[in-house]
A and B are shown apart, each in its own frame.
Chain A
């Protein structure tokens, strides 16, 4: 799975927001994703991460993401 594919899924879910995807090991299955979005304002960290998981549901379910680290931030 390419970084680009994950970034596209996140950009579709968070249009216009800051999205960063890094391949932590170069192996295409350990990723760090960072999303900065006004949608996170007022949400708990669990709720924020759930939105990211929802966006990446397909690669999470089919096992192409072996390990995922998430960092979320509101814009304020």
Chain B
């Protein structure tokens, strides 16, 4: 499972580990992060951590970040909902996305499962 999580982090342009899915969000903070990323046009790859408590345990062990959601851009931890919103307000979120992803910024939202 840890390898799968690592793989999602490393191979996704923008990975969002959240409670629920973009279609059915189960937590306010996950919603806040998702909406900020959508407004910035990020091609989000979402992972629902709720199906198995081990997903969150393994994720936090990898990232050293205790809370959900967690946002990664090209393998680098950007932060949780508060940071993503703060970066959006300062314009840095879009800047970072464009810098790291370039034209690939326009992509599709997708959901992947880890087990």
Contacts and interface: CB of A to CB of B under 8 A. Distances in A.
A45 B86 contact: yes
B105 to A, nearest CB: 21
A69 B82 contact: yes
A18 interface: no
Contacts of A60: 66-67
B83 A45 contact: yes
A45 B87 contact: yes
A46 B78 contact: yes
A4 interface: no
Interface residues of A, number: 13
A61 B28 CA distance: 20
Interface string A54-71: 000100110000011111
Chain A contact residues: helix, strand, loop or mixed: helix
B12 interface: no
B78 A49 contact: no
Contacts of B65: 50, 53
Interface centre among A45, A50, A60, A67 (most CB of B within 10 A): A45
Interface in B70-93: 77-83, 86-87
B64 interface: yes
Interface in A24-76: 45-46, 49-50, 53, 57, 60-61, 67-71
Contacts of A67: 27-29
Given A67-B28, A67-B29, A49 B83 contact: yes
Contacts of A46: 77-79, 83
Interface of A: 45-46, 49-50, 53, 57, 60-61, 67-71
8 contacts: A45-B79, A45-B87, A46-B79, A49-B79, A49-B82, A50-B64, A53-B65, A60-B66
